[in-house]
Structure 1
Amino acid sequence: MGGGEFAELRAFMMIAETRSFREAAGRLGVTPSALSRTIKRLEGRLGHRLLNRTTRSVSPTEAGQLLYARLLPAVASLEEAVDDTLARRGDATGTVRLNLPRLAAEVLLMPRLAEFAALHPGIHLDIVLDDALSDVIGSGSDAGIRPQEMLEKDMIAVRLTPPFRNTVVGTPGYLAKHGVPQSPQDLKRHLCINYRWADSRQPYRWPFGGPDGPFEINVEGPFSVNDTGLLKEAALSGTGLACLSEPMVALHVVRGELVEVLEPWSKRYAGFFLYHPSRRQTPPALRALIMFLTESQASRGPAAPG
């Protein structure tokens, strides 16, 4: 396909989307009369009338609708390829408002912020920590990071991490004093540090998996917090047992500062995904962030928070 033929198809796509010769011409930087001649050449070459024209409106004919449907994925793929190339150059500019829970920030974002800033000096990240997992788009964010189980419908989702588990942990000192629980039911005899969603008065029910399927239990303890960072610090202080995501405590378990208990009952989650409204409307700055996170995860894996 020559450049002229591609330009004709691009002109047709623009008219089909805007339903206006004048608006399409403005977007393409040509006059309406020149655009009309372009469409006539395309129709003559294909042997089909592609557009119904009246003095007030423009709409695709049946042949035009079929052509548009066939062209749409191809054009989207070309646009994506061009955008990906530009994103890798570091030329993208703009602000990306990203909503994510603290765990995702600690594991995925914070260890690599300096590298991203160096690669993309024209992008400003507006980071919103949100353990309440509120409506990302409704809150004015461009994208969100969530566990797959909490993704909003009709969104483009991009995997960022492999699956991970929820885990119950305590310090060696706490377990030496209070004993090691052998089943989730034993937690009734332990001091458990509750987590409470920021927008709820109800404490978090600890999730588990078993031979009969997943289940949840209520636990009791000396206090509740609505911040996972404080929850981890409380567990590290020896106050009691805490239920936290595996990536958040992995380094502390390796160091011997925390001990995992009830491992056979750990509930498994599908992992973290970044999601946003529409692939075709993805701003270059957001596309650059998505590419950076997916490529860095593929090469390094998730970083363990300290």
Structure 2
Amino acid sequence: MLRENLNDFLGFLAVAREQNFTRAAAKLGVSQSALSHAIRGLEARLGVRLLARTTRSVATTPAGERLLRTIGPRFDQIEAELADLSELRDRPAGMIRITAGEHSAETVLWPALKKLLPTYPDIKVELVVDYGLTDIVAERYDAGVRLGEQVAKDMIAVRIGPDLRMAVVGSPSYFARRPLPKRPQDLTEHNCINIRLPTLGGIYAWEFEKRGRALKVRVDGQLIFTNLALRLNAVRDGLGLAYMTEDQVEADIASGRLIRVLEDWCAPFAGYHLYYPSRRQPTPAFAVLVEALRYRTR
């Protein structure tokens, strides 16, 4: 095998796994045109078509699927062996890829990373903010962050944050026009700021619990968001009621900028956990990160 084929094989693996030239090129740090040219050259040298391209998708041909099955695991093994060599270094080193939601990234991961990374300059972290329940094995992440109740049983889970609690809040200007809800069902009469989560395939139903009684309420309103900052801005501006984690709005509640309702219906629940495959052999760099994130009650 010619040595120049190696990079082309890596390019093919990236496209085959992503099923998309744009995402594969971004992952490899090359231009889409250069990647496409490299794979065409690889196909010409091998004398077979590896990818079936359309205007909307990319799929492997039978030859491409066979090549993916045979060389993919071998390249993964080489990559893992190279990562293991970091054990011989004086300092932990290497790239760690993590997928997490926006709230956990801001409140748990970032505070730990900004303290850790200056101490370990050879550790690199790629943090991808994603609300989907990503398959970290298929997407080749080292770890993910989810709420404790969402972690699969075959994963190792490390608690990295305290229990959480939700809060329903509205501004004084909003409640000047509307009565305070006394029970969750009253929310159907209010203008609520909704959340769309890809894990649910639609609008999130607000969850409540009181004395063991669980309740989900599908609310309605003029606004639907997928990010935290816009939801917080909207509720502060009096455009509706919001369902936020307690830590996001506690300062606004204390200052009187927001009013909390239905507090007795918002029970604590398991906080964030870092999770990764049980068969994964942690590198020194990953082990350092886990210890930096591990939650310790104070």
Work out whether the TM-score is over 0.5: yes
Amino acid of the structure 2 residue aligned with 1:275: Y
Structure with the greater alpha carbon radius of gyration:
1
Alignment map for 1:222-241 (pairs within 5 Å):
222-241=222-241
Q: CA deviation at 1:247?
A: 2.4
Quote the Cα distance in structure 2 between the aligned partners of 1:196 and 1:139.
23
CA 1:254–1:182 in 2, change beyond 3 Å: closer, same or farther?
Answer: same
For residue 191 of structure 1, give the secondary structure of its aligned residue in structure 2.
coil
Assess if the C-alpha contact under 8 Å between 1:147 and 1:272 holds in 2: yes
- Counterparts of 1:1-306 in structure 2, within 5 Å, are 91-198=91-198, 202-211=202-211, 213-278=213-278, 281-294=281-294, 297-298=295-296
Distance 1:221 1:240 in 2: 7
Counterpart contact for 2:100–2:146, Cα < 8 Å: yes
- Pairwise CA RMSD: 2.4
Residues 156 and 279 in structure 1, CA contact (< 8 A), matched pair in contact too? no
Q: Distance in 2 between matches of 1:94 and 1:169?
A: 43
Q: Which runs of 5+ in 1 are unaligned?
A: 1-82, 302-306
Which 4+ residue blocks in structure 1 deviate beyond 3 angstroms?
Answer: 198-201
* Aligned-partner Cα distance in 2 for 1:251–1:132: 29
**Is the CA contact 1:169–1:242 (under 8 Å) kept in the aligned structure 2?**
yes
Q: Secondary structure at the match of 1:196?
A: strand
* Shift of residue 199, structure 1, vs aligned partner: 5.8
Shift of 1:205: 0.4
- The one-character-per-residue Cα deviations of 1:21-50 (angstroms, maximum 9, x if unpaired) are xxxxxxxxxxxxxxxxxxxxxxxxxxxxxx
Q: Tell me the distance in 2 between the aligned counterparts of 1:222 and 1:210.
A: 28
Cα distance change of structure 1 residues 113 and 262 upon mapping to structure 2, 3 Å threshold:
same
Residue 153 of structure 1 and its aligned partner are, at CA, apart by 2.4
**Contact in 1 for aligned 2:231/2:242 (Cα 8 Å):** yes
Structure 2 CA distance for partners of 1:200 and 1:162, relative to 1, 3 Å: closer
Q: What is the alpha-carbon distance in structure 2 between the residues aligned to residue 291 and residue 241 of structure 1?
A: 38
* Aligned-residue offset at 1:110: 2.3
1:6-33 Cα deviation digits (max 9, x unpaired): xxxxxxxxxxxxxxxxxxxxxxxxxxxx
Contact 2:133 2:199 in 1 (8 A): no
Deviation at 1:235, TM superposition (A): 1.6
Give the structure-1-normalised TM-score. 0.63
Q: Deviations over 1:101-136 (max 9, x none)?
A: 111011112234322221111111100111223323
Tell me which amino acid in the other structure corresponds to 2:296: A
Q: Which shifted more, 210-219 or 132-141?
A: 132-141
Is the CA contact (8 Å cut-off) linking 1:143 and 1:274 kept in structure 2? yes
How many residues were matched structurally?
212
1:207·1:267 contact (CA, 8 Å) conserved in 2?
no
What SS does the corresponding residue of 1:268 show, helix, strand or coil?
Answer: coil
Query: How many angstroms does 1:250 deviate by?
Result: 2.5
Distance verdict in 2 for CA 1:228–1:132, change over 3 Å? farther
1:214-259 deviation line (CA, Å, top 9, x unaligned): 1101100002112233222222222111111222223332333222
8 A contact 1:98–1:127 mirrored in 2: yes
Distance of aligned partners of 1:235 and 1:132 in 2 relative to their CA distance in 1, 3 Å threshold: farther
Residues 1:280 and 1:198: Cα distance change in structure 2 (over 3 Å): closer
Q: C-alpha displacement at 1:181, in angstroms?
A: 1.0
Please state whether the residue corresponding to 1:238 is helix, strand or coil: coil
* Greater mean alpha carbon deviation, residues 122-131 or residues 280-289: 280-289
Q: Which runs of 5+ in 2 are unaligned?
A: 1-83
Distance 1:117 1:212, change over 3 A: closer
Q: Is the 8 A contact 2:131 2:199 kept in 1?
A: no
